[in-house]
Each structure stands twice: as structure tokens, then as C-alpha cells.
Structure 1
Amino acid sequence: MNLNKLERLFVAAILALVGEAAWADYHLNIPVGPTETSRVIYDFHMYAIWVCVGIAVVVFGVMFYSIINHRKSKHPVPAKFHENLKLEVVWTIIPVLILIGLAVPSTKALIEIEDTSGAEMDIKVTGYQWKWHYEYPKEGIAFFSSLDEASNRARQLGSGIDPKTVPNYLLNVDHPLVVPVNTKIRFLITAADVIHAWWVPAFGWKKDAIPGFVNAAWVEIEKPGIYRGQCAELCGRDHGYMPIVVKAVTKEEYQAWVAEQKQKLAGGRAAAQGWNLQVAMERGREAYNTHCASCHQADGSGIPGTFPALAGSPVATDDVDAMIEIVLEGKGAMPAFGSDENISDADLAAVITYVRNAFGNDTGDVVTPEDIADAR
């Protein structure tokens, strides 16, 4: 429905009259998330807003008083004076007091926000083009978190999928970050290629992820739930497809999740011992969607002029050793996955096997983790 300016003002006035419920989808202020840091930021924000309101009332009050009471019709002969010492002292002292009144609480808030001491657990966050890697050092768990397959397919031209039908389009991932509530968590944030920025609005802060440098931040989530964010730094062509999903659960649920992840890790190792085409294809499909689909597309068609197609490609159907070398050493815009300690030999073997036997590339080759280890 198209409305002109007058009609839009009329609608806004009606919404204002019918009450707060009508404004449920309109956010005119910063949100207050389920964390102490977000409340600290919001409280200082509102304090500063009211200071500004007070200044505006005084300044505009004096201005309108002067306009009304010192207009030409009332005082045809203007007063002639200058250099009022008392006035100059007053309008110097008052701004200084205002600045002090803002500086003290803002400094206190910044100190509290940046204080990561006393953390109960650490999570290392590493930004890649265009996914996140999460590592729990104490638990021994690490995984990549990438744009979910439904969003990844819908974003591609010619997919035939209406993005409106995809839940949380471009704001969902295949593997969310799982954390316990009521636990002070320290995030150690860095990047492996270019500058990224880890940002979840509900937490009240964002931190740059800079290659070769580690930024620290903390959060203590008070309510279970799903909290979504995105990379807030222009990190490259697929910057818009790098979401963040944090799943906050109770401490009991978190411990159960940790046990489940360790069981999966053990199961993956066992599966590697009984390596065959079926095992490699199942594992390779997931690894491909995590590490490769954003560039080479989910169907292996690639992006003309940017990323080559893998379907029917000589790279994927000819010499298997040459393909292993490309995956390990990288080529062009493709990173060297062999130098990434967070991608296992089993995952690399699986994804190479998958590519050589998917998209019509029916080579029958089965690459094993031992083949990758020997080629490193």
C-alpha cells in the first residue's frame, strides 16, 4: 500500500493514540538484552539522553524567551554591552560540570564492560571468509559454524526458492554456538584471513576479529534462548552470508550437549577406522556444505568468473593426487586447508571423496585420512 507523506503522518498519529501495543514492531530505542553489559549500556544511554534533554530545554527556553521578550517591537533600542565576566564564568563552569557528569559514569561502564577477569569458561572465536570457527579449549570441542543450507540455496540466483519461505533467512547456521546461562564466558576473538567483527546485538557489544591479534570480551546470559547476530565488518564478497547464532541453555543441558559432542567425536574416529565410500560420502556432504558450498555452490556449479564449477571438472575427475595437493596447498582465492589445524584429515578426505563422487563425478575414488596425512 502506497501512502503519501500526509497519510503516513495520519497513520502514525493513530498508532500513537491506540497505545503501546500498536508499536510492538517499532523499535525507537536500543534493545535491552539478557546480559549485564547490555543493561549497563542502556542505563548510561538513557542517562545521557536525559542530560541532553535537559540541555535542550534550557538552551531552547532561553532562546525562545529572548525571541519573545527582546523582540524589536518591544525593545526598539537594543542594549549595548559586552564582556560580562560572571556570565563567561558560568557558561564555562556549567559545560565542565556536564562533561564530568558524563565522563564518570561512562568510564565506570567501560571498565565494567571490558573487565573479563573471573571468567568461568573460555571460547575462542575465529573468523574466516565466510564462516566462524568456535573452540572450547577446556572441553576439547571445536567446530565451524556456517550459513545454513536452506538459506544458502535460497540466496543463489535461479534456485527457485522464495527467501520469504526460509525461516530466519540469512540469520541461521548449521552449527550454533551453545553456551550455558548464568556463567561468565570470556570470548577470545581473532581472524584467520581478513578483519571480521563478531556481533550479537542482544549482548550489547561487538568486537573486531583481526588476524594476528586477539580481542577479549565477556558475556553472562541470564535467560535461555536463541540470540542471533552477524559479522559487522565488510569482510568480502559474501559478507552478508556470515551469521552468528548463540544458543543459551541451562547448565544441565550444556553438560549434556558437551557429552553428546564428545560422543560424536569418538564416533567419527571410529567411523574413520572403518572408512568406506558410504562413510566418506555422508561425512563429506556435511564438510562440503560447511567449507565449500558458499563458493562452489551446493550443487557444484560454481560462480562463473569467480569460483570454478566442480561438476564435471577435470580437477574433480582426473588425478586424485593433484586434487589433494590443491585442497591442501590452496589455489587462487581458495585457501590452503592443509594449514588449518581445525580441519581434520578425516574431513578433508571425506570432502574430496564427496566431490569426486557427487554432481555426476562418478569416479569411485575413496580418499582416506591416511592419504591426507601422507600428503601433508
Structure 2
Amino acid sequence: MPQGVTAISHDVYHLHMLIFWICVVIGVVVFGVMFWSIYHHRKSRGAVPAQFHESTLVEVLWTIVPMMILIGMAVPATGTLVRMYDARDAELTIKVTGYQWRWQYDYLDDGVKFFSTLSTPQAQIRNLAPKGEHYLLEVDHPLVLPVGKKVRILTTAADVIHSWWVPELGWKKDAIPGFINEVWTQIEKPGIYRGQCAELCGRDHGFMPIVVKALPEAEFRQWLEQMKKDSTSQTAQNDSRAPIVPGGQTL
């Protein structure tokens, strides 16, 4: 499990390690007592099994002790889940829509929208060329996010259930047709982080990668302004190609 590049991913990692070591201690104690009992009370040493029916003390202990262990696990786990779902005060909101088999990213506050599609060459997929370092984990248009900013991410889908997952962010979120799921992230350092659709969504499920490019705030703003200009230019070109009908209106 990677430690990730967000506060939530760190919380998830430390929670995982805490639960892991609790389970290790329980395993050592239980199997230690079991093997010690098997060895020291074996038949060859003349051990005679004790004859008893019920023990109130044992009943109380094996009820209270597991309950306390579960409470000790639940408290930090609940705290992590509460922080994970607290998307308040986000500085940027992005809607992620899953399609068979690509992603659409919509910057709701800025009017920027584009598709992100697998860019691994077909020659590599068909084993006609050596596979690259990021085989099946590269796209034509990555999701670009600012470093140090709280980003609210809304996930949905247009056809079947998908799941948006980048391990370094510390969570995965289902994209379900007709529903909007909410999560957030705040990346701590610049870089490129890769993931995949984590829900079996059809024949080309394995060809639906996710690439997140985290940029410093200034570089992100430059990228966003350029995307706005490109979007405006594309809209103008589409309008100029619209056929003219009598009366001067465009279709």
C-alpha cells in the first residue's frame, strides 16, 4: 500500500498499519497459547483433559475483550472516514463522468470540459512493439489539478458502473449512472499519478486508465487559462460552420 501524496492517503496508510499490527498481536497471542497448550498438554505426557461445562468468567472475558478491541479499531477508522467525506470549503469542483471506455472531466467553475482516453499505441497492445514504461496507464489528456488546493470531485457515469481510483490519493469512488458521489483530495506535491477504473465495466475495462497531473498553483492557472481559450476558439469554429437558413439564423 503506497503512503500517497494527500493527507487522507496518509491517514488511510497509518490506519491500515495500526489495524495490521493489532491483528498481528492477536494472532501471536492466540496461536502462541494454542501451540503452547498443544505441546505442554499432549497425551504422551499423560495430560488428562479437564472436565467442566461452563465458566462465567470465561464467558465475560471473551465477550468484553473482543468488544474493546473492536472499539479500539472503530474510533480511528470512524475519524478517518469522517475526514474522507468532508468536502466542505473546496476551492475547485470537478465532475468525473465514466464512459465505456474513457473519462470525461468537467471543471464546473471554469467551463472547461474534455475527454481523457487511453493513448498506449495499438502496436504495444497487440504485442507488435515493446511495451512502454506506463503500458495501459497513459492518456491523451490527463486530469490537471493544483497542488495544495482542496479539490471536490463528483463522480458519475453515463452507461454502466465505473470506479475512479488513483492509489496515491488514498481512496476510490464508484461512478454510478444516475447518481452523484462526492469525495475530495488535496495533493501535497507536484507529479504525475496514475490509476485505473476499478470496477469491471465491460469488454475494454482494462483500457480505461486515469492520469492525474499535479501542478503548482501558478502553472495550473496558466494551463486553465489556455484551456479556456482553446475551448472558446473551438466553440467559435463550430458556430462558424453552422449552416445558414433564410432569415439569417443558424441551425
Do they fold alike, i.e. is TM over 0.5?
Answer: yes
Q: What SS does the aligned partner of 1:64 have?
A: helix
Change (3 A) 1:174 1:370: farther
Distance 1:271 1:129 in 2: 28
Summarize deviations over 1:172-194 as a string: whole Å, max 9, x none. Answer: 11111111010110001101111
Distance 1:132 1:152 in 2: 18
Distance 1:86 1:269 in 2: 77
Summarize deviations over 1:262-302 as a string: whole Å, max 9, x none. Answer: 222233345457x6xxxxxxxxxxxxxxxxxxxxxxxxxxx
Distance 2:125 2:53 in 1: 70
> Does residue 154 of the first structure (1) align with residue 116 of the second (2)?
no
Shift of 1:155: 5.1
Distance 2:87 2:124 in 1: 38
* Aligned partner letter, 2:83: E
Q: What SS does the aligned partner of 1:198 have?
A: strand
Shift of 1:137: 1.4
Shift of 1:369: 3.6
Partner of 2:17: 46
* Correspondent of 1:138 among 109, 114, 118: 109
Partner of 1:168: 134
TM-score (norm 1): 0.62
Q: How many residues align?
A: 246
Superposition CA RMSD, Å: 1.9
Distance 2:77 2:117 in 1: 36
Change (3 A) 1:179 1:99: same
Partner of 2:79: 108
Distance 1:77 1:239 in 2: 60
> Does residue 90 of the first structure (1) align with residue 61 of the second (2)?
yes
* Aligned partner letter, 1:227: Y
Change (3 A) 1:78 1:170: closer
Kept in 2, the 8 Å contact 1:163–1:169? The answer is: no
* Correspondent of 2:227 among 254, 261, 265: 261
Distance 2:18 2:217 in 1: 35
Summarize deviations over 1:34-93 as a string: whole Å, max 9, x none. Answer: 011111111111111111111112111211221222122323433322312212211211
Summarize deviations over 1:279-334 as a string: whole Å, max 9, x none. Answer: xxxxxxxxxxxxxxxxxxxxxxxxxxxxxxxxxxxxxxxxxxxxxxxxxxxxxxxx
Partner of 1:77: 48
Distance 2:76 2:4 in 1: 20
Distance 1:155 1:128 in 2: 23
> Does residue 218 of the first structure (1) align with residue 184 of the second (2)?
yes
Distance 1:268 1:183 in 2: 29
Distance 2:227 2:47 in 1: 84
Q: Which has the higher contact order (CA 8 A, sep 6+)?
A: 2
Change (3 A) 1:50 1:246: same
**Mapping for residues 1-376 of structure 1, pairs under 5 Å:** 30-148=1-119, 151-154=120-123, 157=126, 161-164=128-131, 166-272=132-238, 368-370=241-243, 374=251
Distance 1:127 1:266 in 2: 24
Distance 1:92 1:214 in 2: 41
Partner of 1:19: none
Distance 2:189 2:113 in 1: 24
Q: What SS does the aligned partner of 1:59 have?
A: helix
TM-score (norm 2): 0.91
Change (3 A) 1:370 1:147: farther
**Stretch moving more, 249-258 or 111-120:** 111-120
Distance 2:67 2:200 in 1: 38
Shift of 1:99: 1.1
Partner of 2:247: none
Larger Rg: 1
Q: What SS does the aligned partner of 1:73 have?
A: helix
Kept in 2, the 8 Å contact 1:190–1:214? The answer is: yes
Distance 1:193 1:155 in 2: 28
* Aligned partner letter, 1:264: D
Summarize deviations over 1:180-235 as a string: whole Å, max 9, x none. Answer: 01011000110111111111111111111111110001000001000111111111
Q: What SS does the aligned partner of 2:203 have?
A: coil
Say which structure is richer in strand: 2
Question: Which aligned runs of 4 or more in structure 1 are off by greater than 6 angstroms?
Answer: none
